[in-house]
Amino acid sequence: MEARLLRKPQEESESYFISMTDLMVGLVLIFIILLAYFALNLQARTAELTGANQARAEILKDMAEALKEEGLEVTIDIETGVLRLPDDVLFESGRFTLTPRGELAVQKVADAMSQILPCYTEGAQCDGERSPHRVDAIFVEGHTDMDRMSGGMDNYDLSVMRAANTFRALKAGNPIVDQMRNLPENAPGSAKILSLSGYGPDRFVDPGDSDEAKARNRRIDLRFLMMSPGALSRDTLVQ
């Protein structure tokens, strides 16, 4: 009688221990599954970012090569996604109206954009295979040196007006430039890729005070932004 009374609690203790073991094994399995899911998701997002950066680098290199063939030398920065047009190619000192030489240069840029970008955007005809990595926006950025201006205009006004006139000339230079969008026209968030901004002297590329440094800071930048990972879906894309 006493042996049976002592044995019953031991069986309950063993059963409780087995239940806790099963629970811990289940929790570990769930943790492993979740860890694998997040690792795969991170890997996919990293691949998308890498692919977008590679696509942007290809765009910049193709643009620079196409413009070089047309006699226009530009500077590209792969890391920041910038195609740089020197100020002296486009404008006279202190002026915001494109010179005849500047108008010709912007025309060449517009033509290069119309040839290279349609397969990285929506809205314009793509003659090849449309890339899965899309351009979200191209900012036409005006920049100046730090020298003070006389009269009623300051460097911020000048940079905005130069960016605006370059922006208008790009759209007028080739109708395809104004057709290109980041997403199909009826999709949420769809917008034309071309935009503009002016930074005055705030975003210099050369901190020096020499004439050469000031000349490098006076410029128009075309900054290419790519679509963020996950922004495109099969339902959104028009193939």
Task: Say which range, 2-16, 47-61, 183-197, 218-232, has the weakest mean pLDDT.
Answer: 2-16
pLDDT, position 17: 55
Q: What is the dihedral of CA 128, 133, 139, 144, to 10 degrees?
A: -100
- What does the pLDDT average to over 95-112? 95
Asked, for residue 180, whether it belongs to a domain, the answer is yes
> What does the block give as tokens for 131?
């890339």
Return d(Cα 106, Cα 169) in angstroms, integer: 7
Q: Is the pLDDT of residue 104 over 70?
A: yes
DSSP 68-96: HHTT---EEETTTTEEEEEHHHH--TT--
Q: Is the pLDDT of residue 39 over 90?
A: no
The domain of 201 spans 40-226
pTM to 2 decimal places: 0.75
Residue pair 160/198 in contact (Cβ under 8 Å)? The answer is: yes
pLDDT, position 45: 57
pLDDT digits (tens, 9 = 90+) for 17-38: 557 677 777 777 787 787 776 7
pLDDT digits (tens, 9 = 90+) for 40-80: 665 555 555 578 899 999 999 999 999 999 999 999 999 99
pLDDT, position 11: 54
Bridge-based pairing of strands 82-86 and 219-226 is antiparallel
Asked, for residue 195, whether it belongs to a domain, the answer is yes
Return d(Cα 138, Cα 51) in angstroms, integer: 18
CATH of the domain at 211: 3.30.1330.60
Question: Mean pLDDT of all residues in the chain?
Answer: 84
pLDDT digits (tens, 9 = 90+) for 76-96: 999 999 999 977 889 988 889
Number of domains in the chain: 1
Asked, for residue 191, whether it belongs to a domain, the answer is yes
Asked, for residue 116, whether it belongs to a domain, the answer is yes
Q: Which of 97, 113, 90 is nearest to 175 (CA)?
A: 113
Percent of residues, the chain, with pLDDT higher than 90: 54
Q: Which of 138, 117, 235 is nearest to 194 (CA)?
A: 138
pLDDT, position 237: 42
Asked, for residue 53, whether it belongs to a domain, the answer is yes
What band does 181 get if pLDDT is binned at 50, 70 and 90? very high
More confident residue, 227 or 232: 227
Asked, for residue 2, whether it belongs to a domain, the answer is no
Asked, for residue 239, whether it belongs to a domain, the answer is no
Over 173-200, what HEC string results?
A: HCHHHHHCECCCCCCCCCCECEEEEECC
Residue pair 90/220 in contact (Cβ under 8 Å)? The answer is: yes
Asked, for residue 128, whether it belongs to a domain, the answer is yes
The backbone torsions φ and ψ at residue 221, rounded to the nearest 5 degrees and listed phi first, read: -105, 135
Q: How far apart are the first and last CA of the chain?
A: 82
